[in-house]
Amino acid sequence: MKATSVKPLLLLPIAVLLVEVALHFMPQGFMVRTLHARMAEIVSLPAPRVQIMGDSVSAAINSANLAEAAGLPVDAVDNYSLPGTSPVFAYYALRRELAAGRTPEEILYAPHPANLETPMIDRFIGRFGTLEECGELIPHRVTAADWLYGAACRVSIAMRYREEFRAAITEGNFGFFSTLRTPVSSVLVSRTKIAGPTALAGQPAILASDFPAQLSTPFYLDVINATYIDLFFKLAADNGIKVKWVTMPVTALFNERAMGGSAGATYQSLLNGFVARNANVSLLHREIEVYPDDEFADPWHLNQNGALRFSVELGAELKAGNH
C-alpha cells in the first residue's frame, strides 16, 4: 500500500516538469513580444519632442493625427504606450530610455483609470522587468508574497500565461494561441494617419450583463501605483521633462459604475494633488469624457473612429496649451 501511494506523489512533479519543458518550446505570447519589441525601439529611436505613454487604451492615440492638430511635424510626436501595463512599467520604461541617452521634451501620460487600481507586479516580474528592477520592488511597498508570486511567473511558463490558459480551458477563448505567431507592430505605426471616420461593420454591443468586473468597481489608486507615479514624475523633473496628464475617454457604463458619486471626486482630487506636488506636471485633459459605445471596440479600447476623434481633440488642446 505504501509503495503504490508514493507513486502518484512522484509522478506529479515529473508531470509538471514535463509540461514546463514542453511549454518552453512555445513562442512567447504576443503581449510579451510586443512589450520587449517596443521597449527595444524606445531605447534606440531618437526621442520625440512629445511622447505619449500609458497602456493599451492610450495606445489608440494616433500620433500623426495628434501632431497635425497640434501644428507639429509628424516625427515630433510618438506613441510609446505599452499594452497591458501599470505605472510601474512606465517608470522603468522612462528610466531605460533616459539611460540610453533619449530625453523627450514632454510626456503625455494617459493611463486608463482602471489600470491605476492594480500594479500588475506578477506581470512586471514575469514578463518585463530586469533582475535589477525586480530587486527594487520590495523597498517600494511590494510585499514579499507578491514578489515571490511574480518570481514564480518569471520561472514558470504555465504561471506566466495562467490567465490565457484559464480563458482557453474555462471559456473556450483561444485568442492567445491564435496570436502566437502574429507579427509585432512598430511603435511608429501611429505615424500613419487615420484618414477619417468609417462605417465599422459588426461593431459589438457593450452590455451591462457582461461588463468586466475590473471596470465596475469604484475608482481608487493602488498604493504601489501611487509610489511609482511619484517616482515617474520625479524622474521626469530631474531630467527637465514636462508631464501632461491625459484622462482617456470612457464608456457610459464605466463612468456610471467606476466614476459615479464620490469616486469621480476622488479621481479629480488625485489629479489636483499631482499638480500641487510636482512643478513639472500639468493637466492637459482632466475631464472624464464619455464617448458613445459605437466609438469603442470593447469596454476598454477606442475603435478607429474613437481614436481619430480623441487624437484630434488632444492635439488641439496641446496646441492651445503651448501658445
CATH at 84 = 3.40.50.1110
Q: What is the pLDDT of residue 9?
A: 66
Asked whether residue 177 is assigned to any structural domain, the reply reads: no
Range(s) of the domain holding residue 75 = 36-118+186-191+205-321
Asked whether residue 24 is assigned to any structural domain, the reply reads: no
Asked whether residue 308 is assigned to any structural domain, the reply reads: yes
Q: What is the pLDDT of residue 197?
A: 85
Q: What is the pLDDT of residue 176?
A: 87
Q: What is the pLDDT of residue 3?
A: 52
Where are the strands (E) in the chain, listed by range?
50-54, 77-79, 106-110, 242-246, 281-285
Query: pLDDT truncated to tens, each residue of the chain (323 aa)?
Result: 455 555 666 676 777 677 777 777 788 889 899 999 999 999 999 999 999 999 999 999 999 999 999 999 999 999 999 999 999 999 999 999 999 999 999 999 999 999 999 999 999 999 999 999 999 999 999 999 999 999 999 999 988 888 888 888 998 988 888 888 898 989 999 999 999 888 776 667 788 888 999 999 999 999 999 999 999 999 999 999 999 999 999 999 999 999 998 999 999 999 999 999 999 999 999 999 999 999 999 999 999 999 999 999 999 999 998 64
Q: What is the pLDDT of residue 247?
A: 98
Q: What is the pLDDT of residue 6?
A: 58
Asked whether residue 210 is assigned to any structural domain, the reply reads: yes
Helix, strand and coil content of the chain, in percent to the nearest 5, comes to 55, 10, 35
Asked whether residue 170 is assigned to any structural domain, the reply reads: no
DSSP state of 159: H
Provide the b/e sequence for 49-87 (b: ≥16 CB within 10 Å). ebbbbbbbbbbbbbbbbbbbbbebebebbbbbbbbbbbb
Contact 143, 122 (CB under 8 A): no
Instruction: Give the count of domains, the chain.
Output: 1
pTM, to two decimals: 0.91
Q: What is the pLDDT of residue 16?
A: 66
Asked whether residue 272 is assigned to any structural domain, the reply reads: yes
Asked whether residue 237 is assigned to any structural domain, the reply reads: yes
Q: What is the pLDDT of residue 199?
A: 78
Asked whether residue 160 is assigned to any structural domain, the reply reads: no
